[in-house]
Amino acid sequence: MSFPNPQIKLTVDAIVFGYNEGKISILLIQRKYDPFKGQWAIPGGFVLENESLEEAVARELKEETGVSINYLEQLYTFGNVDRDPRGRVVSVAYFGLIHPEGHTLEATTDAEKAQWFDMETLPELSFDHKQIIDVAIERLRGKITYEPIGFELLETKFPFSNLEKLYTTLLGRPIDRRNFRKKINSLNILDELDEKISQGKGRPASLFRFNEKRYKQLQKEGIIFEI
């Protein structure tokens, strides 16, 4: 009969996506201490005995980057035996979405620096964090087709073209703009505001706001968001 290993430790990691000027970024920290001192990693750390997983990931994210976000969702549990040189460590990963503007980065505790990196040009990562990020990207690209989590990446007010560009960027492929607009309009989850914005040549574009209350009502009614 085998017995549980009391030396197994539990950590949490946070893959935070940001969107600005047509590019998806990922928030990373530069490690202050060994292992992998000076290398880049996902924000995260050990879970304390008196906190939940959600409390732990929010605390680590705040301590290491200065960022607090509203949308954090559990992604996957990573538990390969040799994933951490410090011993047997299991990590529960979360992914979150924010608009980077308005969030000042401030690294403390065991993070030397916090910085946004273009999702397409990430630096070499420590531990198994490249694998974790790959899983998060796959989940994000899948989920935005059936749930409007992408609105977390936009400003509160935005022109419709920004929403189209966001989905094109996240999916990594062109979208049928006419059908996309038709689908979004049919759901009635956007409020058109009495405000416009100039975008180069042409007429000023109307601004919109995501109606979360309306979307939650549609969920209760069983209406499916699908792009």
- Does residue 63 sit in the same domain as residue 119? yes
DSSP category for residue 151: G
On whether both 110 and 213 belong to a single domain, the answer is no
Residues 51, 92: Cα–Cα separation, whole Å: 14
Confidence grade of residue 2 (pLDDT, cut at 50, 70, 90): low
Asked whether 46 and 10 are in contact (CB, 8 A), the reply is: yes
pLDDT of residue 192: 95
- Structure confidence by residue, pLDDT tens digits, 183-224: 899 888 999 999 998 876 778 899 999 998 988 888 788 777
- Mean pLDDT (the chain) is 91
Q: Are residues 91 and 50 in the same domain?
A: yes
* Residue 108 forms part of a structural domain: yes
Q: Output the pTM of the full model.
A: 0.89
* Confidence band for 127, pLDDT divided at 50, 70 and 90: very high
Structural domain for 201, as ranges: 157-220
- Output 27 or 3, whichever has higher pLDDT: 27
Q: Which residues contact 174 (CB under 8 A, 6 or more apart)?
A: 168
CATH label of the domain that carries residue 63? 3.90.79.10
Q: What are the tokens at 116?
A: 């946004």
Residue 108 half-sphere exposure, CB side, CA atoms within 13 Å?
9
Examine the domain organization and report whether 24 and 135 are in the same domain: yes
Task: Give the separation between CA 89 and CA 8, rounded to whole angstroms.
Answer: 6
